Each structure stands twice: as structure tokens, then as C-alpha cells.
Amino acid sequence: MSVFNQSRSRIIRLIFGVTFLVIIGQLFYLQVMSGKFRQLAMDNAVYPKIIYPERGIIYDREGKAILNNTISYDLMVTPAEIKGIDVQEFCRLMNLDTAEFNKRILEAKIKNTSVRPSIFDDQLTPDIQARFEENSWKFPGFTLVERPVRTYPFNAAAHILGYVREADPKDIEKSGNFYRQGDYIGKTGLEAYYEKVLMGQRGVEYWIKDNKNRLVGHYEKGSFDTAAVAGRGLRTYLDADLQQLAEKLMTNKVGGLVAIDPKTGGILAMVSGPNYNPNDLTGPEGSKNFGRLQLDVAGPMLNRAINGLYEPGSTFKPLGALVALDEGLITPAYGYPCGGRYMGCGSGKPACTHSGGGHSANLRNAIAYSCNSYFTHLYRMAADNPQYGGVKKGYMKWREYMNLFGLGVRLGVDLPSENKGNIPDTASYNKQYRGSWNSCTNLTLGIGQDQMQATPLQLANAMCIIANKGYYYTPHFVQKIDDETDDDTVYMNKFRVKHEVLTHIPDTAYRAVIEGMNDVVKFGTARIAQIPGIEVCAKTGTAENYTILDGRRIKLPNNSMFVCFAPKDNPKIAIAVCVQNAGYGATWGGPISRILIEKYLNDTIQKKSEADVDRISKANLIPAHYKRLQYKADSSRAWEWFKMTKDSSYIKKFRRAQADTPKPPAPKPADKQKTITYIWMQEEKKVASALKSRVLS
Amino acid sequence: MNQRNPAISKGIDWSLIGIYLLLVVIGLTAIFAVTYKEGDPIIQSFFRFKTDYSKQFYFFCLGTLIGFFILLTDSKFFAATANLGYALGIFMLLLVFPFHSPIKGTESIIKLGAFNFQPAELCKIFVALALAKYLSRPETDFTKTRAQLIAAGIALFPAALTLLQSETGLALVYFSFFIVMYREGLPSVILLIGIAVTALVVATIVIEPDTLAIALTVLAALLIYIFRRQIKRRRQILTTIIFLWVLCVGLQRFAVPYAFKNVLQKHQVERIYDLFGKDNPYLDKSAELTTEELKKKKESGTSYNVRQSKIAIGSGRIFGKGILNATQTRYDFVPEQRTDFIFCTVGEGFGFAGSFVLLGLYLILLFRIVTIAERQRSTFSRSYAYGVAAVFFFHIAINIAMTVGLAPVIGIPLPFVSYGGTSLLTFTILLFILIRLDADRQMVLR
């Protein structure tokens, strides 16, 4: 029988063999043919842990750090490891109630499972951190984790330095997913502009994780790890002391201030008012303060030095003079008969502060006494220059000059979102006046009004051009990047090129204007800016302005404008100051500039100036109507919130706060509310555009 | 003969012992790789019986000792006690019902002190011996259906008991004894029917029921057309074809769905469907799951095991990652790592080359056993040898096939490699009895 079935042993062997072949075939497919499994296993078991480099440090001209890094602590919790802790005691220590404690633990579990650590409380105050550290042994499952935080040793230069925040989805998308959720990114200021330099290079550590996502060790003993490279430092032209002083002077003022070294284009100080302490945005209260600043109608986060648009007013006059001189329309000796008002267009406008007395007998005097008629006339001469045939062509030539002076164009400062100001072109006038306009229509351009708008930075830069007799360097903060690479040098070269825009204007013309500006200080409108031993050249400006409040057009106090440079023969500093709604140019801008020049050139300030510092810094010049605007904005926001959520708590809170302050002057008709909201929205838009960060690319 | 050659080494097949040792070493290495964590004291843990690899090592020592004693035993003993052993095995299987330990997922384990003892595992030995005994009886005429039924009964009775203990995998193993019966003269037609039924069941799962029914009908019609001449002569052929058609469609439309719905357990059906990458259509319709939930279930269920197991094996590539760099298997991504899915460790750590070598070893082992079987003079020894080959084959094929996604997940160990005392001892005893019988291959045992 067995012999009969002998052949079946072969069949059995065949079954064995075929089965094994099939299995080996599948193994061959899995292990040799298909390449995806190794990656899948990597995804499973290897966790690339990002190591964040320290961000670069920013130094002032003397090498003092004005933006540095410090460590703050996050409290992490691993819920599974909490065993037998005294929750009551813990909560007392951390200033929490038990409900909040339980809520946070639950959140941690949901977010990160109970075996992985998650943040229980971020950026502990030093007080709580110390308390926890003393008692940490009582609370297993809780650990402190370091987190690098930006710190500002001088409490200054908030607008210049900008701030970092977690990258939002838009940033991540824009960067082509280079940034990830949780990464910090420079949002404004130098932090944003030099993001690539400051951020350094992320490192990666590959960790092995197990099936519960616990990290259990280094992958391949760390042979694939890359080290983080710290961000490089920036050496700026900023003078920390000068900046601090300038910020002190601009306390409780709305406006902008820029001081530039004309020789290099390096910005020595830049202030925007109202200001804030950059340290407020870091630390435990950071988010709260951020929200508060953003809702403030005064726009403390808006950098008015590069975004505030102001009519230059009389500070424009030296430029008008140079245009006329260059076009050969006048000589320095040219005089214009001014009887107190400009009669050239028949309307008697603009009026002039002075009348007769030779205040406009020549260019120097006209500048010193700031004769409106004289410069209105110069503008009209330039616009109607027969050489170009027609006001439109003449105007375009004049506008070209303005652009060369840096007005109406972006200068290219190394900050994101610079405003280019406004010098209207003929098209815009054609549209407004349906094509029929002449040099009388916009004659106040000659005295820096009409639709001319400039930022403090542009005005300061224009001063540099005059001080340098025709050339300038693009205003910028960063002198040098630490360990500058070739790419950096190429990038930074735009700040190191001399722009010889107006050097063709003869020296005599410049000298006449400069002497005129010197006379302004010696005996003209800016005598307040006199400094013993230093020849200061300056020009005051006082620009009228209006706003619409509660549906009425109201005249606001004048903007105080002031531009200057010093010393006359070897200019080392050029300043432009604008204090909104503060009064005459000489009243506020003058002394502020004088103090800064003293500080910068002499390193000390006179007794007299010290008293001025005190007086000016204590003066609150925030325009009165802002309070009303804030009220309107807050109440409409509370109303919106109520409409959305039916939660009246904000309205109530708001009413309670309102009870302490005097009642608004006029009852508010419902239809006028819109105007206010509109103004607020405009203001908000401005803030938003100022905050819009631009990644350096 | 035995008396004339008192040295036990005489007649022993050393190649089997060599393969056995190699496999155990591979197993120990794999278990070591899974359980070892950086910094564990290796030497100490070997002595302390604390870690899995040290436990396995001691079981290996114990198994070798038992094997040594088996080699010292007279071969006649195994033939003589085969029926008694079978009775004992059944008794132990019955004992499980009142005395099984409360371990989750199985009711087949008796706790004896520190050891988990699984009679269903051990019973394979007794069945192999008893079946061999029955087939080798001079009065057994295996061409008779009655004898075939009795033999099948001997093999399948313990399977039924095991099935009742929710150990489907171990129960299925007993079906491998059909290979023995096939060798001893079971008609080939039964084998063919088995294959045909399997194919039909697979087709039922893979192909839409209606499509399959149409296909079967078309096939039947075709057959009738082809055999139309023969049918004219013999009506019987037509009857057969129609009968087969009814049987197939009935199986496909009613029997299989019925079995999936009512006979098999839910998770088993799930595993079978997972294997073919299909969703189980027999799920309780009242508990409609959203796709999200289904996805979640997929990730946690058996398909997760198979997926992770495939990732582990596939990521080994040609030469593997090295046994201690096998991230998949070392960090618990594959469940049941040390026992049923131990092959992943080999696949990930040693790659295709290593897997090939292991499979090669197994194939050599199986072929060697078949060779040995064929050189026996007595039917008892031969049948027993085929029993051993069949059990090994089933374990190896199903275990590896399930880790590479070719078979549904059935929890059966890989011989000599998987962690587990009872299974290691069972396979060792199975093998050593074979070696003992082979040493006396010239003797006729009954």
C-alpha cells in the first residue's frame, strides 16, 4: 500500500515547495521591489526634533545690545506621571483654582495624550517659577522647560526692532512650508526685515519613538543630527542713549522723529509716538498687552516715522529754493515784494507772518523769516517755467525734483512697509480739476502744503541731501551683519551706494540755502535751537490740519514740524521731527531737535536743555479728540460683540469705565456713528498696514 | 537491533538536530532583539529567568533535556503508548474547560504555578502518534471509507475541542493531518475538492456575489456545450454538471454568508476580509459606522497588525537594518511581537537575505523529514514523520504568510522561533520522537 502511494511524497514536496515559493515571492515584493516601507518605518519610529537656534542679537553703534535673548520657563506636564500630588497645595502655589487645574490637565491629555509632555503654563513669571522650583520635588509629572525669549535691555526702539510671534498659516504658506506651526518669525521692524539673518539655522535631532510616541533614544546614535546655528548679530548705527532720550522727549506725543548721520545714511534714532515698551510684548502678559496696543486708536504700534503722512509745511521751503536756483529762475540775491500776503493769484492767499521790513529781500532772508509769498512765487515760477512750455510739463519737472529729493518715493529703508508719501502727479490733478488747473490751483505746494505728504524719514533724508550738497545714502539701520557672507554683502550694497542725485546743483546755491537755514537759527524762527559752539541749520514748519469728528469738520491744533542738521560746515546729524497737533514748529520740534543735537555732538546737554527735557517729556500732547475716538471705537466694538454673542458684559464693563470719565460733549445721532467707525477703520487699516510684515527674501 | 547498538548516537539524524539548534538560536536572537533595551544587564538577566529571552533559553535547555531522554527511550514505547497518550491528551483538553485561567482572549490555558500550560498545543503530539498508530494497524484498510472517517475523526476531535476554547488557529492545525492521510491513500479527489472549495470561498469574498453567480452559470453552460456529445450518450454527466452548479452557487450565495454571519466570530471574518483588503459586508447594519470611525478601527484592529508587520518586514530591504536597529520591532509597533509576529524581527533585522535563509532552513527541515519518512520500514514511523512534517508545514506557512499579508491573522507560533514555552517544548518533543523513531528505521513498529 505504501509502495503504491510512494509518488505522493513528491506531490507533498511539491505543495511544500510551491507554498514556500509564494511566500518568498511576497517577501521579495515587500523587501526588494517596494521601496515605500522603509520610509513608513521611519515615519513610524523616528521623530525629527527641531532644535531652535538662538535668534541674532542687535547692537547699537557702540556694540551695546539693544535686543538680546533671555530664558523664560514653561511649565510642562505629563499627565500620566502625576501621582499622589497635593493638588490644593499646587494650585495655591501656582495661583490657580482646582477647576482650572483639572481643565488644563484635560486639555493636555486631549492635545498630547497623557504619556507625552504638554505645556501647562507658558512663560512663568520669575516669582512663580522660583516658587515652583523650590517645591518641584513634591510634584512629579511637572517639569520646567527653557524657552528663549527676546529681551530689550534699553526698553527702547520698539518700532525699529519690531517683534517676533508664532508664524501664522499665511506666513507658513508664503515661506513654502519652510516655517512650521509653532515657529517664531519676525513680524515687523528689523526682526522681519532681517529675518533670514536673525533666525539662524534650525537643527534637527532624530529621536526614536515607540508605539506610544514616547521618545526613547537617539536614532543611530545621533549620526544624522544637525546642529542648530545661532542667528547672526546686526550692528546698527543706532545710538542707544540718543534713542532713549528721543523716546523720552516724545512721550505722550503723537508723531515721528528721525535722526540720520548724513555721511553714511545711518539712522541714529527713530521714534514714533505714542510709543510702547517692547518688553511688554514678551513675557507672561505679552498677549494681553499686544491686544491692548492693537485696540488703541492712537496706534501705538504704527511706526509714524516711516508711515505717518504729514504736510511738510514750511520745512519744505529750502527744497523749493534749490529747485528755483537750479533751474536758473532766481539767484540767491533774488527778492520778492511781500506785503503780508501773496497777491500773485489775486486771492491774497497764502498769508505771511511778516510784512515788509525786507523779510523777503533775498533768499537768505526769505528762508530765515519763512516768507510764504516768496516760496509760493518760486513754485509758480518753476511750474510755469517757459523752458518746458506749459504748466503740466513744468510741474512734472518740478515733481521730478521732488522725487530726487526723496519725496513721493520709497527710500528703501531696511524696515518693512515704508510709506512713499505723496507728491501728486498731473494725472491726479487732471482728474480732480477735470484737466483745467494751473500753478495757482496748487500754489500752496510751494510752502509744503496742498496734497504734498511726506514721512519724517523722507524729511530727514531731504535734510541729508542739503547737508551733503546733493548726495545721500539710503537711510538704514544696519551697518554690518556679523560674519557677513558674500550674499549679505551683495544684499547690503544698496545701503552703501552713494546716490549723487542733485550734485549738479551748484555749490553757491547750496551755500545760499544752508546759510539761510543757519540764519533761521541765528535770528529767524528757530532761535530756540541755538547751541553755543555749534552752528545749527534748521527750518521750522507749522501745518494746519483738520479732521471729521461726530460728523463735523473740526480744525485741530497745528502740527509742529522741524527739520535741521548740524554742524553747518561738517554735518554729522540731520533730524526731522513732527509732533502732531502740538502748535508751532519751533515750540516743540525746535527744542527736541536741539537737545538731541547737543546729546549727539557734545555727549552732554546744557543745564537749560535739561530743564527742557523734563518739561517736554512731561507734556501730554496726545490730541484731545483721541479720547472721543477711543470711546466710539470701544463702544461700537462692544456693541458688535453684543450683537454677535448676546454677551453684554463688555458693554457693562465699558459703561462702568465710562462713568468715571466726563460725558461725551454731544449726543450721538445714530447715522453719524458710521463716520466715526469709518475713521476708526481707517486708523485701524493704517495700523494693520504698518504691522504687515515683509519677509526678507 | 537496539540491544546490539547500545550507543544512542547510532542512527541519529544529526542534520535534523543541527537545523533544530540553528532555528532555536535564531529564535533566541529575535526574542532578544525585541525585549532587550539599552543598558539591560544581559548576563545577569540570563541567570535570573526575568526576561523573555532568558525564559526561552531555559525552555530550550529543558526541551533539549527532554529530547535527550526521548533518545534514550525505546522506540516501541511510542507505538505502544500512542492510544493511551491520545486519551491523556483528550483528557487534558477536557480539563481545560473547568480549570482554564482567566487570561483574556483564550480559554485554552491552564496555569501551573508560574507556567502557562496549553494542552491544545501539546495534544498535537498525541494526535500525530495516535493517527500513526491507527494507520499502521494491520487490520486498517485505508482504502475503505470507514477507516478514512475514523482517521479523520482522530485528527479532528481535538480540533473541535480546541475550537470550543476559542483557539481557532490551533484548531486549524489539526487539518494538516490530512496530508498524512493523503500520503497513506486518501483519494486525491478529496484534496481537489478541498482546493476547489477554498477557491470558491475566496472568490466569494473577492468577487461581487451576482457577478460570481453569473460567471458560474456561464461556466456551467460552457461545460454543457463542450460535453454535448458525451451528454447525449450519458445523461449522468449533465446531472453532475447541474448538481455541481447548484452546489457552487448555493455555497457562494448561502453557505458562505451563513458561515460568516453565524459560525465564525466577528473578528475572524474581519481578518479574512482584511486580508483581501475589503470591508466586511456582514457588519451589523444597525451600527452604521462613519468612514472616520472605520478608519480608526482599521488602524487599531488586525489590519493595523498586518500593516505594521508589513512595514517592519518591508523596511528591512535586502540585508536588513541589523537586529538592534530594527525600529519597528524594537519599539512595539507590531503587536504580538515575540510570539506570533516574531518573523517581523527577522525580516526587519536581517532583510530579504535573512528571511530567505530562515525559509530555506525550514524548507530543508521539511524535505528532510519527508525523506526520513520515506525511508522508514514501518508505517507507524512513516505516518508519524508525515504528521510532524504536516504540523510544521502548517505552522510555518500560515505564520509567515500572515505576517507578510498572505493569510488571515491566525494566532499560531513559528516553530522553534516564536517565544512560548509550551510551543517550543511541543515542537522539540515532536522532532525528537521522530529522530528516535528514525534511529530505529529498520525496525517494524506497530
In this predicted model, what pLDDT tens digit does every residue of A333-352 receive, in sequence order? 999 888 888 888 888 888 88
pLDDT of residue A545 exceeding 90: no
> Percent of chain B having pLDDT more than 70?
89
Task: Kindly tell me the sign of the dihedral angle through the C-alpha atoms of B99, B105, B106, B109.
Answer: negative
- The candidate with the shortest Cα–Cα distance to B13, out of B378, B359, B365, B363, is B365
Q: Grade residue A261 by pLDDT with cuts at 50, 70 and 90.
A: very high
- The candidate with the shortest Cα–Cα distance to B348, out of B370, B369, B305, B318, is B318
In this predicted model, what pLDDT tens digit does every residue of B197-210 receive, in sequence order? 888 888 888 788 88
A124 versus A425: the higher-pLDDT residue is A425
In this predicted model, what pLDDT tens digit does every residue of B291-345 receive, in sequence order? 555 555 554 555 777 888 888 888 888 888 887 777 777 777 777 778 888 999 8
In this predicted model, what pLDDT tens digit does every residue of A464-493 receive, in sequence order? 999 999 999 999 999 999 988 888 888 899
Phi/psi at A69 (nearest 5 deg)? Answer: -110, 150
Q: Grade residue A65 by pLDDT with cuts at 50, 70 and 90.
A: very high
Indicate the pairing of strand A234-236 with strand A58-59: parallel
Cα A560 from Cα A540, distance rounded (Å): 8
Where are chain B's structural domains?
14-194+298-439, 195-297
Pick from A118, A153, A188: which residue ends a domain? Answer: A153
pLDDT at B283: 59
| Contact by Cβ (8 Å): B357, B139 | no
CA distances from A549 to A255, A274, A620, A626, A678 (A): 20, 21, 21, 10, 11
Whether the complex's predicted ipTM is more than 0.95 is answered with no
In this prediction, residues B113-126 reach a mean pLDDT of: 83
pLDDT at A163: 92
The reply to whether A26 falls in a domain is no
Contacts 24+ apart (CB under 8 A), A291-296: A294/A687, A295/A633, A295/A634, A295/A637, A296/A630
Cα A24 from Cα B230, distance rounded (Å): 44
Whether pTM exceeds 0.80: no
Pick from A588, A618, A648: which residue ends a domain? Answer: A618
The one-letter code for the residue type at B227 is: F
pLDDT at B3: 46
Instruction: Indicate yes or no: CB of B355 within 8 angstroms of CB of A27.
Output: yes
A615 versus B251: the higher-pLDDT residue is A615
pLDDT of residue A463 exceeding 50: yes
The reply to whether A597 falls in a domain is yes
| Contact by Cβ (8 Å): A564, A575 | yes
Pick from A571, A594, A618: which residue ends a domain? Answer: A618
Grid cell 476708526 is found at A680
Phi/psi at A548 (nearest 5 deg)? Answer: -110, 120
A469/A613 same-domain check: yes
pLDDT at A633: 85
Please count the structural domains in chain A.
Answer: 3
Can you read off the three cell numbers belonging to residue A573?
546729524
Grid cell 475523526 is found at B153
Contacts 24+ apart (CB under 8 A), A514-520: A514/A466, A514/A467, A514/A568, A515/A364, A516/A318, A516/A321, A516/A363, A516/A364, A516/A365, A516/A366, A516/A367, A516/A368, A517/A318, A517/A367, A517/A466, A517/A564, A518/A568, A519/A364, A519/A365, A519/A367, A519/A368, A520/A367, A520/A368, A520/A370
Cα A447 from Cα B188, distance rounded (Å): 114
Q: Which residues on B lie below 8 Å from A31 (Cβ)?
A: 313-314, 316-318, 347, 351-352, 355
Q: Grade residue A695 by pLDDT with cuts at 50, 70 and 90.
A: very low
pLDDT at A191: 93
pLDDT of residue A202 exceeding 50: yes
Torsion of CA B331, B334, B340, B346, to 10 degrees: -60
A559/A650 same-domain check: no
The reply to whether A474 falls in a domain is yes
Q: How many CB atoms lie within 10 A of CB B384?
A: 32
A474/A545 same-domain check: yes
Q: Which residues on B lie below 8 Å from A28 (Cβ)?
A: 352
Contacts 24+ apart (CB under 8 A), B219-223: B219/B245, B220/B244, B220/B245
Which of A69-78, B101-110, B147-156 has the lowest average pLDDT?
Answer: B101-110
Q: How many CB atoms lie within 10 A of CB A248?
A: 16
B84 versus B275: the higher-pLDDT residue is B84
Instruction: Indicate yes or no: CB of B405 within 8 angstroms of CB of A26.
Output: yes
Q: How many CA atoms lie within 13 A of A549 on its CB side?
A: 20
In this prediction, residues B402-421 reach a mean pLDDT of: 88
pLDDT at B286: 44
In this prediction, residues A623-651 reach a mean pLDDT of: 81
The three-state (H, E, C) secondary structure of chain B, written as one string: CCCCCCCCCCCCCHHHHHHHHHHHHHHHHHHHHHHCCCCCCHHHHHHHCCCHHHHHHHHHHHHHHHHHHHHHCCHHHHHHCHHHHHHHHHHHHHHHHHHCCCCCCCCCCEEECCEEECHHHHHHHHHHHHHHHHHHCCCCCCCCHHHHHHHHHHHHHHHHHHHHCCCHHHHHHHHHHHHHHHHCCCCHHHHHHHHHHHHHHHHHHHCCHHHHHHHHHHHHHHHHHHCHHHHHHCHHHHHHHHHHHHHHHHHHHHHHHHHHHHHCCHHHHHHHHHHCCCCCCCCCCCCCCCHHHHHHHHHHCHHHHHHHHHHHHHHCCCCCCCHHHCHHHHCCCCCCCCCCCHHHHHHHHHHHHHHHHHHHHHHHHHHHHHHHHHCCCCHHHHHHHHHHHHHHHHHHHHHHHHHCCCCCCCCCCCCCCCCCHHHHHHHHHHHHHHHHHHHCCCCCCC
In this predicted model, what pLDDT tens digit does every residue of A264-302 receive, in sequence order? 999 999 999 899 999 998 877 888 888 889 888 888 999
Q: Residue A557: which CATH number?
A: 3.40.710.10
Can you read off the three cell numbers belonging to residue A415?
524696515
Cα B76 from Cα B73, distance rounded (Å): 8
Which of A94-108, A596-610, B50-64, B102-116 has the lowest average pLDDT?
Answer: B102-116
Cα A406 from Cα A501, distance rounded (Å): 10
| Contact by Cβ (8 Å): A301, A294 | yes
Average pLDDT, chain B: 84
In this prediction, residues A131-147 reach a mean pLDDT of: 82
The reply to whether A175 falls in a domain is no
- The candidate with the shortest Cα–Cα distance to A179, out of A194, A166, A193, A198, is A166
| Contact by Cβ (8 Å): A141, A75 | no
| Contact by Cβ (8 Å): A541, A452 | no
Q: How far off is chain B from A136, nearest CA to CA, in Å?
A: 28
Grid cell 520500514 is found at B377
A70/A146 same-domain check: yes
pLDDT of residue A506 exceeding 80: yes
Domain that holds residue A84: 65-153
Q: How many CB atoms lie within 10 A of CB B243?
A: 10
Q: Which residues on A lie below 8 Å from B378 (Cβ)?
A: none
A653/A568 same-domain check: no
The reply to whether A47 falls in a domain is no
Three-class secondary structure of residue A677 per DSSP: helix
A339/A422 same-domain check: yes
The reply to whether A245 falls in a domain is no
Average pLDDT, chain A: 85
pLDDT of residue A664 exceeding 50: no
The reply to whether A502 falls in a domain is yes
Q: Residue A89: which CATH number?
A: 3.90.1310.10
Q: Which B residues, 388 through 417, put their C-beta within 8 Å of a C-beta on chain A?
A: 389, 393, 397, 400-401, 404-406
Instruction: Indicate yes or no: CB of A9 within 8 angstroms of CB of B370.
Output: yes
Q: How many CB atoms lie within 10 A of CB A548?
A: 13
Q: Which residues on A lie below 8 Å from B374 (Cβ)?
A: 6, 9
Cα B351 from Cα A27, distance rounded (Å): 9
CA distances from B245 to A683, B208, B213, B252 (A): 85, 17, 9, 10
Give the residue from chain B lying closest to A216, CA to CA.
B331
Q: Grade residue B18 by pLDDT with cuts at 50, 70 and 90.
A: very high
Of B328, B397, B401, Cβ closest to residue A41: B328
pLDDT at A344: 85
Instruction: Indicate yes or no: CB of B367 within 8 angstroms of CB of A23.
Output: no
Interface of A with B (CB under 8 A): 1-2, 4-6, 8-9, 12-13, 15-17, 19-20, 22-24, 26-28, 30-32, 34, 36-38, 40-42, 44-46, 208-212, 216-217, 219-220
Q: Grade residue A668 by pLDDT with cuts at 50, 70 and 90.
A: very low
A367/A481 same-domain check: yes
A344/A476 same-domain check: yes
Secondary structure element (H or E) that encloses residue A575, with its range: strand A573-579
Instruction: Indicate yes or no: CB of A41 within 8 angstroms of CB of B318.
Output: no
Residue of B319, B327, B368, B371 to mutate for A, most A C-beta atoms under 10 A: B327
Instruction: Indicate yes or no: CB of A30 within 8 angstroms of CB of B314.
Output: yes
Grid cell 557702540 is found at A62
Give the residue from chain B lying closest to A40, CA to CA.
B311
A634/A595 same-domain check: no
The residues that bridge with B9 in the sheet, in sequence order, are none
Of A20, A34, A211, Cβ closest to residue B332: A211
The reply to whether A186 falls in a domain is no
| Contact by Cβ (8 Å): A560, A591 | no
A651/A540 same-domain check: no
pLDDT at B394: 94
- The candidate with the shortest Cα–Cα distance to A462, out of A507, A510, A396, is A510
In this predicted model, what pLDDT tens digit does every residue of A46-63 receive, in sequence order? 777 777 788 999 999 999
- The candidate with the shortest Cα–Cα distance to A75, out of A96, A56, A54, is A96
